[in-house]
Copies of this chain bind each other. A is one copy, B any other.
Amino acid sequence: MKDNKAMVIFQPSGRRGEVPQGINLIEASRLLGVDIEALCGEKKVCGKCKVRIEQGRFEKFGIESRLTHVSAWQEEEEKFVNAEAREAGYRLACVTKVQGDLLVFVPEESRAGKQVVSKAARDIHIEHDPAVKLYYVEVEKPTFEEPTADFERIGHELKRQYGLANLRIDIHTLRQLPKVLRDGNWKVTVSVWMDQEVIRVRPGRVQDAYGLAIDVGTTTVAGYFCNLRTMEVVDTVSLMNPQCKYGEDVMARITYHMMTPDGLQRMSNDIIEGLNWLIDQAIAGTYPPKKKVKKKKGEEGPEEWVEVPEEGKTYLRLSREDIEDITLGGNTAMHHILLQLNPEYVGLAPFPPVIHHSLDIRARDLGIKINPSAYVFVLPNEAGFVGADNVGVLIAEEPYKNKEKQLIIDIGTNGELVLGDKDKLISSSCATGPALEGAQLAFGMRAAPGAIERIKIDPETHDVDYKVIGRDAWRKYSEPKEMKAKGICGSGILDVLAELYYAGVITKTGVFNKKNQKSNRFRVNPDNKQPEFVLAWAEETSIEKDIVITQKDVRQIQLAKGALHAGCKLMLRRMGVEKMDQVKIAGAFGTHVDRTKALIMGLFPDCEIEKIVSVGNAAGDGCRAALLNRAKREEANWVSRNVEYIELTVEPDFQTVFMEAMQIPHMKDEFPHLEGVVPPEILHQ
């Protein structure tokens, strides 16, 4: 054992290693590649990072005591770790410091799970005019009479045949040129960026180039891998934003930057590494899957990996170099953190970003590993937190080309709102927080296998039917032990408030209706004296605990939907209109939202039900439009400066409107469009 180091082993993963003494267990888990949930960014307020310090001697490493090898119990832990759990060795990883060799168990509910993201790209209309285009040229080889240089030789042809004048060339590509020209016997295909710069040369005639449109969400990063010639979406790839470990929402990330000397660098490195992983996934998908087989059939001998192509499928077999363009969108905080721009002032009134305008940055300058001469186009920001992602939504949905007044709600960890038509557009953001995505709830979790994503509560019996991710059959049609539920994720949360209200479990103020409970699912938790409602019994779970929704959870959801609803209302007022003609719901949940339930819970003001549409990942669609059409890049800059940003929190009656919006609405008065959809006893409650 070296001085100042301690051996830490995490179970059940078995990851182990020496870490400096004095760091906390979250830091130790990062060093050793173990994912522990830290939704609050180590602010000691979410209680998600519970771990168990294991008893017993771990012979090999001489681990003896769980008591002296960790720092003392902290007052903040009492809120999340009760006496019994404390006795069993539970601690919060964020406050518990390593003081000697340790064996640490990470319970399933504290593990950061992998998220499931919707894969399909929506069909939107995009004119074909990508920033990167291919040109084929044939040139004569140099002679004494015409010993012109390689670059001028092809430059002359590009001008003569295609009218491309004054082209420059990136030094990386220039280095390839002599060999490529000669390998191709003076016939080459040239990739030209924005009619300005040669960014690739390949021998002979080549038809295709590829690009990636990436929407960097606070929680989820989604990439569309596109053929730049055919505009086809070759694949859709996604990953969890690796910055989640520093905090769940944009303010937590900004705080992490402000509290940690190299926090910005660290978060930027993490997302860049994530993007490179995403790129690897896109590339890997262009090869047949591999299987390990015996070298000779039926014989003894070594195994080897061989490709097993699916029948009738052709594989593109691409490399990183084949990705010649990337477009990136994200809210202002994600935009700034990725680019290592100080996000501090975006979080402070009057919330100025570092830059609005789009950026063309060489991928290599960001450490993004694609074609070395390629550029990354970063979409422009609007204002405050309404960033490049919302610009993406705008150029995908084009409300500025429409006579109807649209309200576009982009639901994420940060909610973004746009309202308007061809004459005027206003935008705003609201801190919905991560509750709608499953964080900060007692059993909230990410959209991973085992997450409850659909809920129905019977108004007569208060019985619950539900569906989990990874299993097609609903609870009603399954054995309890088949469900293996672990928690409740975003789309389940959007159901739950409406269902609880619709069934009469809660009142319009969000309080459990103690007089009207029809089953033993409603109870008061003996520990914290809080009312709660059981969604899944312990036997149906893989965590051996009842999955409940608590009074506090209901409040969290109300806060989130209240923020959205209030935002919409204030925007309508600013716009001087009574109601919108159309509501578009974008975001990770976009495709899942049950629009009736959204109306019942009051996610936004009333609208004709058939005028409510889900537009899926519109931000990602906008990135895709900018990838495949140069004009969309200019349009993005134009619209980003022509949306009027409204800071809602400074409206004098913001608090009042917000408080009202937290309630389940008076449907009869506020939602005439629910008439006939919702039973009269509910509607007129």
Interface residues, chain A, CB within 8 Å of chain B? 142-144, 147-153, 168-169, 171, 174-175, 177-179, 339-342, 344-345, 349-357, 359-361, 365-366, 381, 383-384, 645, 647, 650
Contact = CB atoms under 8 A, between A and B. Distances in A.
Given A178-B342, A342-B178, A344-B178, A144 B349 contact: yes
A149 B353 contact: yes
A364 to B, nearest CB: 8
24 contacts: A142-B350, A142-B352, A144-B647, A147-B351, A147-B352, A147-B383, A147-B384, A147-B647, A148-B352, A148-B356, A149-B352, A149-B354, A149-B355, A150-B352, A150-B353, A151-B355, A151-B357, A152-B356, A152-B357, A168-B359, A168-B360, A174-B355, A175-B340, A179-B342
A645 B175 contact: no
Given A142-B352, A144-B350, A178-B344, 14 more contacts: A142-B350, A144-B647, A147-B351, A147-B647, A148-B352, A148-B356, A149-B383, A150-B355, A168-B359, A171-B361, A171-B365, A174-B341, A174-B354, A178-B354
A395 B352 CA distance: 47
Nearest to A155: B357
Most buried by B among A339, A354, A647: A354
Given A178-B344, A342-B178, A383-B147, A152 B355 contact: yes
Contact of A169 (B142, B147, B171, B355): B355
A345 B149 CA distance: 10
A39 to B, nearest CB: 28
Contacts of A174: 339, 341, 354-355, 359
A650 B341 contact: no
A645 B149 CA distance: 12
Q: Which of A148, A179, A384 has most chain B Cβ within 10 Å?
A: A148
Nearest to A143: B350
Contact of A645 (B147, B345, B352, B355): B147
Contacts of A355: 149-152, 169, 174, 177
Contacts of A650: 144
Contacts of A344: 178
A147 B347 CA distance: 12
Contacts of A151: 354-357
Which of A150, A178, A353, A647 has the largest count of B CB atoms less than 10 A from its CB? Answer: A178
A647 B147 CA distance: 10
Contacts of A152: 355-357
Nearest to A153: B352
A474 B47 CA distance: 80
Q: Which 8 A-B pairs have the closest CB atoms?
A: A142-B352, A151-B355, A147-B350, A149-B353, A178-B342, A149-B356, A144-B350, A147-B352
Contacts of A178: 341-342, 344-345, 354
A148 B153 CA distance: 46
Nearest to A151: B355
A372 to B, nearest CB: 10
Nearest to A177: B354
